[in-house]
Chains A and B, each alone.
Chain A
Amino acid sequence: MSTAQRFLRNPQAMASSALLALIVAAVLLAPVLASHLPGAAELGKAFAGPEPGHPLGFDSAGRDVWSRLLHGGGNSLGGALIALVVALGLGVPSGLVAGYYGKWFDSLANWASNFVMALPAMIVLLASRAILGPTVPVLMVVLGVLVAPSFFRLVRGIVANVRRELYVDAARVSGLRDRRIIARHVLIVVRAPIIIQVALVAGIAIGLQAGLEFLGIGSGDAPTWGAMLNEAFQNLQRNPLLMLWPGLALGLTSAALVLLASALRDVLEDRGAPVPNPRAARRVRVDPPTTPDTAGERASLLSVRDLAVSYGHGATAVEVVRGVDLDVAEGEVVGLVGQSGSGKSQTAFSVLGILPEGGRVTRGSVLVAGTEVVGLPEKEYRALRGGVIAYVPQEPMSNLDPAFTVGSQLVEPIRVRLGSSRKAATERALDLLRQVDITDPRRVFDSHPHEISGGMAQRVLIAGAMSCDPHLLIADEPTTALDVTVQAEVLDLLRRLQAERGLGVLLVTHNLGVVADLCDRVAVMEAGRVVETGDVEQVLKRPRHPYTRTLVEAVLDDVPARPAWVAPRIAEVPA
């Protein structure tokens, strides 16, 4: 779904932007909508109620409230716009350059940003007002400078992160010039956070501007919502209603901006329920499975029958796994292959009972060591995890909690699950690290995740999976994110552990080479269904289903040295 479509379907985004558009239109059309000048006063009518031509009555000086509200909105919103433009103009380019090139400019810009943030804003605003004169635009320019660091820091942080990312390196290698890299890759990533920040800062700028007016440090003569509030506040006892209109205008505008910001975040960062490629699942027509159901005999370790997984509710519900059958016997290694979006990871997650938010098993049966886990209470399910089924994830780095040392992450499940003492658990963890061929277990034990390499991290994760002596290992693309040399080592490790411990393994992968290397049997998934199951030998050499055939041919034609790059989700970029 494109961003625009998501935006159009998000009721909060639509409602808040409609409200904003309405307010802006009313303000722009002020000369048409209000028949009186905002400054025209008739003191005799001060505080008088509404009358024809004056729908909101009169203020303390006998001026038309409606007209002042509309014209004042122009000054308030215009002021906020000035502040925003200044903040964006200063913050974004400097953040881009500082984050991308680093070096002296980064140090300098960082220092300047800290300098501005340490300035006492109130004093700066008061002093600049005294020096530069009490006009809204001047004050708003100063305000813009004061909030520019918020953009600078945001952009700089993201860009510095992105620069370290694989794809910019790749883009570099393929000879793109810096300017194009910034334009093509970097700007796209920072776009969403900037838009969100703009909505937030706009709200803050309007609020601050009103606050300044309220303290009497404002525009002088020009009407603004803040000045109206101030004036209403002075006359609160006399006519509290005067407070309502500017308060409402201000409140609605900032509320709309906050709501828009939060909706934009959902839309741009796709924070709604993550639907793994639902379009593919719905549209692709799939040939019926060529392997007949083996519904009769069910394997003792893991047996899945007619499993269906859906996201969403009612008419918008999308089925991403549709009637999968799968068996893993003790000591057996079963490969689950298919392209990304074919539902293989969803199948693995539903066996573990850790489907992402919004996903649920809608149908079928999953037996884990003889226990039916579909509909099993969470507490009993938990007893199976770690002890009976264990999980080795795809991305080693993102699957370790950055806040804790490797050791404490290994010790924690051992203590919680096995009730070991701290000492015993530590011993066991060190032992596990040794078992996964880590030469200096103590050092790795004391390291934080960011201090070890990807391959090391994957070994740690495998050690973690082994920590409570499981019978079934579910490995979700365990080597995809690793360098080729490390891939082989990790596969060797898995093979050795499997053999030593007699593990049953469900290996989720898109790499047929890995399957050939490791697996006894293989199941091929396409668009949420298993289209072919069988011995590795048979399926790889004599694929029966057309889809399997395409997969096998693709591997033979062009053995990729490295898996195709998968774009990281924006959500992983710290906002």
Chain B
Amino acid sequence: MRIRRFPTVGTAGAVAVALVLTGCSGAGGGAAGQSDPTLDIATMTIPQSLDPVTAVGGALPFFQATYDSLLKREPDGAYSPMLATSWTWDPSRTKLSLALRDDVKFDDGSAFDASAVKANLERFKASTGANAKWFSGLKQVEVVDATHVVLHLDAPDPAYPHYLSDAAGLMANPAAFADAEKLKTTPDGTGPYELDAAQTVVGTKWVYRRAENYWGERLPFDGVTMTVFDNETAIVNGLKTGQVDTAVIQDANQQSSLDGAVGLTTTPVDFDFQGILLFDRAGKVTPELADVRVRQALNHAIDRKTMLEQIRRGKGASTSQIFGTDTSAYQEDLDSYYAHDPEKAKRLLAEAGHADGFELKMPRMSSIVTEAIASSLRSDLADVGITLTWVDVDQGDALRRIFSDREFSGFVMNLGQSADDWLVIKDLVLPGTFNLFGYTDDTVKALTPKIQAAPAGDAVEDVRALNRHLVENAWFVPFYRMSYALVTDGGVTARPQSGMAVPSLYNYQSVG
């Protein structure tokens, strides 16, 4: 939020002398209060395209600038009206009725109405977007009248408000669907900003300016610039020199390098957790893993505390559960369920008949599994007799070998912790995405339908029971939740978004 004006070469010397003489070398580039109405966000996430069907997690702010969603997700995770003014489930929880605003128009003057919602939802379901599977249970979108639609589902799905406040809820002008290629680079929505195509360099920098006559709440910035960098060093330097207003810094060392930087404010963001996603619980690839004692031994073998201290520099909290603190399934005592206890791990292995240990093969993507993680896991497991073999794989290669070829029993992953219980269950517990071998057990089979059919808030006991069951049966080997740093300079404040690594675009405020 400061004027990004750098002394040109001619004046540089004089400035430098002044800085040296006054002993001032802090981050005092521009005086606070000089307001630049542009918000400069730095990120490492590139959107695949600006077509809303391709929206995913960290790229959501790119879309929130030009598209409104049906529901709005507040920073604390609560849902509030946006394009839809109300949403109600029928008693069977398979019909979701939405009432829509009647005063919103697309840029070409056509009205946003129920048929636009139907077109968008059906297009999302039919797309190859990463989140298209959300709508696998969407049977039909019924247009009641111009401002009312009803979503008919195969089966209850408590996560629908989440979908409609996320990628699936972004409403584009149906007239733009004819030219899908164009929609990839030219957004056509009702959002608070418009893409400034002249200033935008796709792949590097996206520039948005305020949309005239926006129907909704006026955001505090006249313009937003999102710049993509491929490393955090550059972002941190940009924050220090005032060229970047805000960014989320993941790396613990980069976070530390910002400690004491004058004029920058840091807010922790707890979203991703790191751990072994162990999906071979039936022992198809590594037979030993079928025994619950072996999986428990793995959990006891890992020295979470030291890993957190050394690798994350203490920025985070060690845990044994996959549910995040914003879910109702979360129970604090489960964070420390598995203590570092190599003796117990050895005992468990011996009881399971593997006193001599066994070999566990896991893929290693160096972007996630750093040298420190790789070697510490190897030595922790070696201490209890398990031989951990890392197989070096590239990003693209990894996905094929893990998800298509199903070559491994598990892998170390950084995974966002959704604030929605059902979303976590769907992704990690039910057969599918991260449960590729489709393993389940009686408790899970008994609990999940109850959770699925219950009204929000009514299934708390069941999800907590499910969480405890998963932890006790060592379905996973979580290490810790990681604290990222949401950094803002003097001109901006930002609130972290529950269930997202980066704040929603609505969460930034101007100061002064």
Contacts and interface: CB of A to CB of B under 8 A. Distances in A.
Interface of A: 39-44, 46-47, 59-63, 129-130, 133-134, 216, 220-221, 227, 231, 234-238
Contact of B394 (A39, A47, A130, A235): A130
Nearest to A219: B392
B379 interface: yes
B253 A236 contact: yes
A44 B257 CA distance: 22
Contacts of A42: 379
B392 A221 contact: yes
A41 B378 contact: yes
A61 B372 contact: yes
B397 interface: yes
B256 A220 contact: no
A223 to B, nearest CB: 9
A40 B379 contact: yes
B366 interface: yes
A63 B253 contact: no
Contact of B371 (A40, A231, A236): A231
A237 B256 contact: yes
A129 B392 CA distance: 11
Contact of B253 (A40, A44, A130, A238): A238
Contacts of B251: 234
Contact of B379 (A43, A59, A234): A43
A41 B253 contact: no
A228 B313 CA distance: 20
Contact of B310 (A62, A133, A134, A236): A62
A61 B371 CA distance: 7
Contact of A234 (B253, B256, B392): B253
A234 B254 CA distance: 9
Interface in B340-372: 364, 366-367, 370-372
A60 B310 CA distance: 8
A41 B390 contact: no
A63 B372 CA distance: 9
Contacts of A134: 392, 394
A46 B378 CA distance: 15
A134 B391 CA distance: 10
B257 to A, nearest CB: 4
A225 to B, nearest CB: 14
B376 interface: yes
A238 B309 CA distance: 13
B376 A62 contact: yes
Interface of B: 251, 253-254, 256-257, 303, 306-307, 310-311, 313, 364, 366-367, 370-376, 378-380, 390, 392, 394, 396-397
Nearest to B305: A44
A394 to B, nearest CB: 55
A181 B124 CA distance: 75
Contact of A39 (B307, B310, B375, B392): B375
Given A43-B307, A43-B376, A62-B372, 18 more contacts: A43-B303, A43-B306, A43-B375, A43-B379, A46-B310, A47-B310, A59-B371, A60-B310, A60-B372, A61-B375, A62-B310, A130-B397, A220-B390, A220-B392, A221-B392, A234-B253, A237-B254, A238-B313
Nearest to A222: B392
Nearest to A42: B379
B339 to A, nearest CB: 16
10 contacts: A39-B375, A41-B379, A43-B311, A43-B375, A60-B311, A62-B376, A134-B392, A220-B392, A234-B253, A238-B313
Contacts of B306: 43-44
A63 B378 CA distance: 12
Contacts of B378: 39, 41
A269 to B, nearest CB: 44
Contacts of A221: 364, 374, 390, 392
Contact of B375 (A41, A129, A236): A41
B366 A216 contact: yes
Contacts of A227: 371
Contacts of B374: 61, 221
Contacts of B379: 40-43
A234 B373 CA distance: 14
6 smallest CB-CB distances across A and B, nearest first, come from A220-B392, A41-B375, A61-B372, A43-B376, A46-B310, A61-B375
A63 B366 contact: no
Nearest to B310: A46
A206 to B, nearest CB: 21
B364 A220 contact: yes
A454 to B, nearest CB: 56
A235 B376 contact: no
Contacts of B370: 60, 231, 234
Contacts of B390: 220-221
A60 B256 CA distance: 15
A62 B311 CA distance: 11
Contacts of B371: 59-61, 227, 231
Contacts of A44: 303, 306, 310
A236 B237 CA distance: 14
